Structure 1
């Protein structure tokens, strides 16, 4: 039963990566083009958009890889080990990096909101940094709980 649920989660991790890849291929160049049209006096904005969004895809896929590794550790009965704690720590740092990079893009969302006179666009821009910080906090809590469980387990192993 355990391997069936982890297989489902592994497939879900793979399917999470596909839409982000599609967004990076199709949407990011369009965003760069629109940003360059909005700010013709600042032609480097296109490349800044590319760096922010494509740059945040790198830690995203690294975090997905670490999540996949965590599922492999669960399959091999190594869930309560130090390597699982390290994987959670890497996921936490990746989420913080993604949130930081997308906070750099918030002025661009402000410009979109001013151009269309739609203040809700700013909240759309806050969605990814907020979700990333929630994931970072969740990973930090899991990391701390797992580390405490490992410490208790090793302490119990020493008393026996």
Structure 2
């Protein structure tokens, strides 16, 4: 049952990564500088900061997905209670925090975009910030619990 669950979770993580990668590739033509959408004077200076911010956030996102796959492989190999798992959780926490910070920096540009385009950019940005922040807190709690469990396990191994 456990191996089937970890394989399923690996497939889900891989599928999420492929969807985000497809959005990155397909979404790129929307930022074409020759597009009439970006020729509006209000939007002329927003294109590149938005594009740079979104693609900069993809780097920690994909690194976090990679760390998640590593963590799932540790669970699959029954070495979940190890320093490697703690390190993977710490990296996931840092990636989620980085994504939150990048989108906080991006929020003024999203505000200007929504002011002109009447798009839900602020809500989407806030959802990304909040979700990344929740993931960072969850990873930090799991990291602490796992570290405490490893410490207790090593104490019990020494008493035998």
Separation in 1 of the partners of 2:110 and 2:94? 24
Separation in 1 of the partners of 2:39 and 2:80? 47
User: Is the aligned partner of 1:39 residue 2:40?
Assistant: no
Distance verdict in 2 for CA 1:135–1:46, change over 3 Å: same
Separation in 1 of the partners of 2:32 and 2:53? 10
Deviation at 1:32, TM superposition (A): 6.9
Deviations 1:5-47 (A, max 9, x none): 100000001011012112211224525755674333x3xx433
Show the counterpart of 2:154: 154
Separation in 2 of the partners of 1:31 and 1:106? 18
Show the counterpart of 1:54: 55
Show the counterpart of 1:88: 89
User: Is the aligned partner of 1:63 residue 2:67?
Assistant: no
Contact 1:92 1:139 in 2 (8 A): yes
- For 1:1-160, what aligned pairs fall within 5 Å after superposition? 1-31=1-31, 33=33, 34=37, 37=40, 38-40=42-44, 42=45, 45-117=46-118, 121-160=121-160
Please give the secondary structure, in 1, of the residue aligned with 2:79.
coil
Please give the secondary structure, in 2, of the residue aligned with 1:80.
coil
Please give the secondary structure, in 1, of the residue aligned with 2:123.
helix
TM (norm. structure 1) is: 0.88
Deviation at 1:135, TM superposition (A): 0.3
Extract unaligned runs of 5+ from structure 2: none
Separation in 2 of the partners of 1:36 and 1:159? 72
Deviation at 1:86, TM superposition (A): 0.2
Deviations 1:71-115 (A, max 9, x none): 110111110000000000000000011111111211122113322
CA RMSD of aligned residues (A): 1.9
Contact 1:59 1:94 in 2 (8 A): yes
